[in-house]
């Protein structure tokens, strides 16, 4: 199957309120261009350096999403163009994104990553910490960021009952936080679901799915 066919297959199954992020990490620009030519405009990368390199080579109407863990010292490289940062998990990081966004006179949209998996390896904040952050006085001074939703990653497992429970947890947390609206926090997006579980994620309330291998094929990591 070609990248175009994969994309069309997935898009034909998506409800209108669900946004597809094409996760293109490790893939060459030629593959991304195939997706671009098939109409895809939102791409997700998990390394800032790789995203910057692709941004420089590709058409400028692409929306670039940073879906990986963000190192604070690298925010400056993407601040000029990044469209959404999925993995924000601390006030410190938000502060740095705000500082760099200001230099470019932009507002950068961010999702707060919430820890829903039982695994220890996943990043993310507790729902209590998220609530504290979005209701804090300190947040209102960060006028160059806007918190537009939440993101979560389920445990890496074949047990779909467990994955479903974790997705439902994120949806519940989102609904609980949603009424909190401030000058720079307006929760609309639930980013959850990848190639293996996006249908389940949509059933559980996802509005943004991050799909890589089902579009571009398996990733081969060299070195």
- Structure tokens given for 203: 């059933």
Chain residue at closest Cβ approach to ligand PLP: 212
d(CA 125, CA 146): 17
- Tell the smallest beta-carbon distance from residue 150 to ligand PLP (Å): 13
In the bound state with ligand PLP, the residue whose beta carbon lies nearer, of 36 and 44, is: 44
Q: Which of 25, 65, 115, 169 binds ligand PLP (CB under 6 A)?
A: 25
Residue 150 CA from chain centroid, whole number = 9
Helix axes 29-37, 48-57, angle to 10 degrees: 60
Q: Which of 3, 7, 48, 68 binds ligand PLP (CB under 6 A)?
A: 68
In the bound state with ligand PLP, the residue whose beta carbon lies nearer, of 24 and 184, is: 24
In the bound state with ligand PLP, the residue whose beta carbon lies nearer, of 110 and 142, is: 110
- Tell the smallest beta-carbon distance from residue 11 to ligand PLP (Å): 15
Site string for ligand PLP, 176-195 (x = CB under 6 A): ------------------xx
CA dihedral 181, 182, 184, 190 (to 10 degrees): -20
- Tell the smallest beta-carbon distance from residue 98 to ligand PLP (Å): 22
In the bound state with ligand PLP, the residue whose beta carbon lies nearer, of 144 and 210, is: 210
Q: What three-state secondary structure class fits 188?
A: strand
One-letter-per-residue 3-state SS of 107-164: CEEEEEEECCCCCCCCCCECHHHHHHHHCCHHHHCCCCEEEEEEECCCCCCCCHHHHH
Please identify which residue in the block is written with the tokens 């400028």: 60
**By CB under 6 A, what part of segment 36-55 binds ligand PLP?**
46
Q: Does 212 bind ligand PLP (CB under 6 A)?
A: yes
d(CA 28, CA 22): 13
In the bound state with ligand PLP, the residue whose beta carbon lies nearer, of 133 and 209, is: 209
Q: Does 211 bind ligand PLP (CB under 6 A)?
A: yes
- Tell the smallest beta-carbon distance from residue 219 to ligand PLP (Å): 7
Q: Strand pairing partners for 190?
A: 150
- Tell the smallest beta-carbon distance from residue 179 to ligand PLP (Å): 27
Q: What three-state secondary structure class fits 21?
A: strand
The residues of the shown chain that bind ligand PLP, judged by CB under 6 A, are: 23, 25, 46, 67-68, 153, 194-196, 210-214
């Amino acid at each position: 199957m070609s990248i175009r066919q994969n994309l069309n297959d997935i898009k034909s199954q998506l409800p209108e309120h669900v946004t597809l992020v094409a996760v293109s990490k490790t893939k060459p620009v030629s593959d991304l261009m195939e997706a671009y030519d098939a109409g895809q405009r939102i791409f997700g990368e998990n390394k800032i350096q790789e995203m910057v390199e692709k941004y420089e080579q590709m058409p400028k109407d692409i929306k670039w999403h940073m879906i990986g863990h963000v190192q604070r010292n690298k925010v400056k490289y993407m601040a000029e163009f990044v469209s959404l940062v999925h993995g924000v998990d601390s006030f410190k990081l938000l502060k740095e994104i705000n500082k760099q966004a200001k230099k470019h006179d932009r507002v950068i949209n961010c999702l707060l990553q919430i820890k829903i998996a039982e695994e220890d390896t996943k990043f993310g904040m507790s729902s209590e910490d998220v609530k504290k952050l979005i209701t804090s006085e300190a947040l209102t001074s960060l006028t160059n960021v806007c918190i537009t939703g939440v993101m979560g990653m389920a445990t890496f497992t074949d047990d779909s009952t467990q994955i479903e429970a974790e997705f439902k947890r994120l949806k519940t947390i989102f609904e609980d936080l949603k009424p909190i609206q401030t000058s720079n926090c307006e929760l609309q997006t639930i980013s959850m679901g990848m190639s293996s579980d996006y249908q389940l994620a949509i059933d559980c309330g996802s509005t943004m799915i991050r799909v890589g291998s089902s579009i571009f094929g398996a990733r081969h990591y060299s070195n």
